[in-house]
């Protein structure tokens, strides 16, 4: 099961799974993390392990359509730029953007 975790413009983490967006909900007692669908009236959720590397529980029954690919790509580019900039502050912004696009569209 593939999923992505991105940083939104508000610098909050957002999980993307099957074109649906989930926002961080809470840390569970077990150490796992619960993510809820961003639509307030939708009860879909997923859970990841504490390092956010594996989905351990999925309840993705949504009452709405998924986000468009364009929408998600935009978000993802922003998130990746931000992360790249944090990792290597010497990279110039135009280079960062080029790398990010290459990674996504190649």
- Give residues in contact with Zn ion (CB under 5 A): 37, 39, 42, 44, 62
Count other C-beta atoms under 10 Å from residue 51's C-beta.
8
Beta carbon nearer to Zn ion, 42 or 97:
42
Q: Label residue 22 exposed, middle or buried (CB < 10 Å: 0-12, 13-18, 19+).
A: buried
Least Å distance between CB 5 and Zn ion? 17
Least Å distance between CB 19 and Zn ion? 11
Least Å distance between CB 59 and Zn ion? 10
Beta carbon nearer to Zn ion, 48 or 100:
48
Give 23-78 as a DSSP string. EEEEE-TTS-EEEEESSTT---EEEE-TTS-SEEEEE---SSPPPPHHHHHHHHHH
Beta carbon nearer to Zn ion, 72 or 96:
72
């Amino acid at each position: 099961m593939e999923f992505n975790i991105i940083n939104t413009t508000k610098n909050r983490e957002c999980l993307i799974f099957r074109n649906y967006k989930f926002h961080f909900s809470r840390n569970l007692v077990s150490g796992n993390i619960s993510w809820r669908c961003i639509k307030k009236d939708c009860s879909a959720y997923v859970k990841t392990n504490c390092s956010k590397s594996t989905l351990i529980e999925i309840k993705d029954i949504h009452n709405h359509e998924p986000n468009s690919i364009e929408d998600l790509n935009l978000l993802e580019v922003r998130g990746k730029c931000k992360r790249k900039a944090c990792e290597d502050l010497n990279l110039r912004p135009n280079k960062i953007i080029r790398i990010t696009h290459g990674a996504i569209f190649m």
